[in-house]
Amino acid sequence: MATSPRMEILLNFTQEKGLQYAQSKQLVSTQKICDCGHSMCIRPSAAFKLDTVCWRCTMCGTRMSVRKGTFFEKSKLHIHTILQIMFDFVSQTPVTTSANFSGVSTGVAIQWFEYCRDICTSKLLKDKKKLGGTGHIVEVDESLLFKRKNNVGRVSRQEWVIGFYDRTAKLGFLRQIPDRTAVTLEAAILENVEPGSTIFTDEWRSYSRLTSLGYQHGTVNHSEHFVDPVTGVCTNSIEGYWSRIKRKVKHVSGSVGNMKWSHVDEAMYREAYGMKTDTAIRNFNLFLTHVTEKYPV
Ligand SMILES: [Zn+2]
């Protein structure tokens, strides 16, 4: 009987195959050199109860966890269980469902979803670069992304966010800003947009000095759409980007009150690396390569 791609993956998430699969994806090393200079082998070990195997030096007998230095190092879960949760995270399974499927508490699954978000954040930081450049149109817009309750749970604090969208390269991202004074907005633009770019903003007065900072500046009334000077086409890419991110964040957070910035990172990550819902297997494999970038073995 034919096996579905999903089933093929799930079959690897068993006690017998979990480690092997993790090795095949370079999440766990396939070879190791002992401090004494000799090679180590993976051998059965009663002392390493969780994995039932460990690295063992062929010369001096030194033993070491197969998880040392890996994404799995700090956990007491089986590797195959963690892989299941990672797959659930990438395929946007609700965290409570993931906990249920993999037989862990909701708290543990929540923790692992956060570790997965750390991977998203790290990858975004690693690939971070300015948008725009000569000939590029970058739309810039600031907005209140969410209101966060303080510890007491009563007073809401405003969280300003500035959004950038390079219409030419079709790339965007959001950055947190403390306020929307001219100094703050200009600093954010200088940090995130290449000089020489054409920047479209709304008519907010804080953007009035952009020309003197080395940009070409066009403004629009907020109710209108940006008009592309070449094609004459009206678009408003930044608003489309905002709404896609907000929709993803809402999906993850459940409600705005539960939202954390790591949820925004996750949403930006999914957008930036093309993680569409109909490419789950490809998404998972891509995510695993990003894990190996943070935890090279
Ligand atoms: Zn040794």
Task: Verify that 50 and 74 share a domain, yes or no.
Answer: yes
**Number of domains forming the structure of the chain:** 2
d(CA 86, ligand 1 centre) in Å:
33
Q: How far apart are CA 279 and CA 276, in angstroms?
A: 6
- In a domain? residue 171: yes
Measured in Å, residue 22 CA sits from the centre of ligand 1 at: 24
Assess whether 106 and 187 both reside in one domain. Answer: no
Query: Does one domain contain both 166 and 97?
Result: no
Q: How far is the CA of 78 from the centre of ligand 1 (A)?
A: 26
Please check whether residue 233 lies inside any domain of the structure.
yes
Distance 23 CA to ligand 1 centre (A): 22
**In a shared domain, residues 33 and 67:** yes
Pairing of strands 63-64, 171-177: unpaired
Gap from CA of 26 to ligand 1 centroid (Å): 23
Characterize 264-277 residue by residue with b for buried, 16 or more Cβ atoms within 10 angstroms of its Cβ, and e for exposed: bbbbbbbbeeebee
Instruction: Using the mean position of ligand 1's atoms as its centre, give its distance from the Cα of residue 198 in Å.
Output: 60
1-43 pLDDT per residue, tens? 678 988 999 999 998 899 999 999 999 999 999 999 999 999 9
Question: 164 and 234 share a domain?
Answer: yes
CA 67 – ligand 1 centroid, Å: 18
Indicate the average pLDDT of the chain: 88
How far apart are the CA of 48 and the centre of ligand 1, in A? Answer: 18
For residue 272, being part of any structural domain is answered with no
* Alpha carbons 294 and 124: distance in angstroms, whole number: 12
What is the distance in A from the centroid of ligand 1 to the CA of 56?
8
Cα of 108 to ligand 1 centre, how many Å?
35
Same-domain status, 120 and 201: no
Same-domain pairing of 152 and 254: yes
pLDDT of residue 83 exceeding 60: yes
- Residue in this structure with the two tokens 């009206």, named with its chain if needed: 234
Domain with 61, as residue range(s), is 5-126+282-294
Residue 60 lies in a domain: yes
Higher pLDDT, 38 or 217: 38
Of residues 66 and 203, more confidence is placed in: 66
**Taking residues 206-218, what's their average pLDDT?**
88
Q: Each residue of 227-239: pLDDT tens digit?
A: 555 555 455 788 8
**Whether 142 and 255 share a structural domain:** yes
Task: Spell out a b/e string for 75-114, using b for 16 or more CB atoms within 10 Å of the CB, else e.
Answer: bebbbbbbbbbbbbbbbbbebeebbebbebeeebbebbbe
How confident is the model at residue 155, as a pLDDT? 47
In a domain, 70, yes or no: yes
With respect to residue 288, please indicate whether it lies within any of the assigned structural domains. yes
**Ligand 1 centre from 42 Cα, in Å?**
13
What distance in Å separates the CA atoms of residue 108 and residue 43, rounded to the nearest whole number? 29
Q: Under 8 Å CB-to-CB from 172, ≥6 apart: which residues?
A: 131, 163, 164, 165, 166, 237, 238, 241, 268, 271
Question: Could you tell me if 286 and 245 lie in one domain?
Answer: no
User: Ligand 1 center to residue 259 CA distance, Å?
Assistant: 48
| Cα–ligand 1 centroid distance for 62 (angstroms) | 5
Mean pLDDT of 135-162: 73
Q: Give the CATH number of the domain where residue 214 resides.
A: 3.30.420.10
Give distance in angstroms: CA of 54 to centre of ligand 1: 13
